[in-house]
Amino acid sequence: MAAPVAGPLSVPPARPDDPKAGAPKPEKRDLSEVREELDGLYHEAAVATDAYNAAEEEAKKQSDQIVRLANKIQKLQGKRDTLKDRAGAAARAQYRSGGVPPQAQLVLSDNPQEFLDGAQRVRQGQHATTNLIGELSTTEADLQLYAKDAGLYWLELEQHTKDQAKRKKKIEAKIEAAEKLEKKLEKEERARLLQMEQDAEIQSQTAWLDTGILNDIKGNASAQGKKAVAFASKQIGKPYVWGAEGPSSYDCSGLTSQAWAAAGRGIPRTSQEQWRQLPRIKVRDMRPGDLIIYHADASHVGMYVGNGAIVHAPRPGRNVTVAGAGSMPILGVVRPDK
């Protein structure tokens, strides 16, 4: 009997727990999903940055108030010490006179006219002493009030400092998560992701321009507006750093607030406060130097520089750059020098 011919061996697939199987390759995520997640992380970081900057601004105000009150307290303490010295001198003078009542001094006096002249001086002295005591009492009350106010400001400062620390952690966590996500991408994928980002901005800008908006925007920059635009334009190429106000790096509202400070006009530090406090104008009425606020939560701001463009600090990992004014959802426009 002939031996059976062996056919090709069919090797069973390796089990998942088989060491020979090797680690399964992770499924690649769709780049559009990655981009959406990155946008979300950077947006949350921007919102937290605005809150951090607001807390920092409040902390500065509290510090200034504490310094102002400390100076007042120091002056009042000097005044109180002077008043106490004068009051002590008056008391010692009365003690040296023996504390004899004026009526008794009149009976004992050999010269009534001399006594009357002296009595007038005594009344004047008593009146001055009464005023001195009143002034000393008022000064002591003011000191207590200022000390109480300083204590309240100090508590508020501590709270704002704690708020800053919490927001700092949140910002760093969001940026770290975004950076880790980007590092997982291949070089080619990162290039495609950047291209997707640019394509989306171009599409948004084109749609905005197609409305014919530039036909209506014809305003010329004011003298201060020109200075603000010049300052912002000189910062192009510098990196975005959250919480930064220059001179080597900026976040979005740090750039706009410093540009207008260079033009001689102070404005709020954050994009949300710039939107809340500065005069609003219609988009078609804007001119170079005006600030365009973006997103429904006013979490981003750029400076309009004319010809449908803005200068802005986009986000971590990007530099101050020129972009289309309509490349992001516009909330509204504010004019610092209106």
Active site residues: 252, 300, 312
CB within 8 Å of 329: residues ≥ 6 apart: 204, 294, 295, 296
Q: How far apart are CA 296 and CA 293, in angstroms?
A: 9
Considering just the CA atoms, what is the radius of gyration of the chain in Å? 37
CB within 8 Å of 12: residues ≥ 6 apart: none
Q: How far apart are CA 221 and CA 336, in angstroms?
A: 12
Give me the helix-helix angle, 252-262 and 223-234, nearest 10°. 130
Sheet containing 280-281: order of strands: 280-281, 330-334, 291-294, 300-306, 309-312, 321-324
Q: Are 325 and 310 in contact (CB under 8 A)?
A: yes
**Amino acid residing at 172:** E
User: In angstroms, how far is CA 98 from the centroid of its own chain?
Assistant: 66
Q: How far apart are CA 142 and CA 149, in angstroms?
A: 10
Report H helices in 235-302.
Answer: 252-262, 271-277
Q: How far apart are CA 267 and CA 273, in angstroms?
A: 9
Q: How far apart are CA 247 and CA 304, in angstroms?
A: 20
CB within 8 Å of 251: residues ≥ 6 apart: 49, 53, 240, 241, 242, 243, 244, 245, 313
Q: What are phi and psi of 250, to 5 degrees?
A: -150, 155
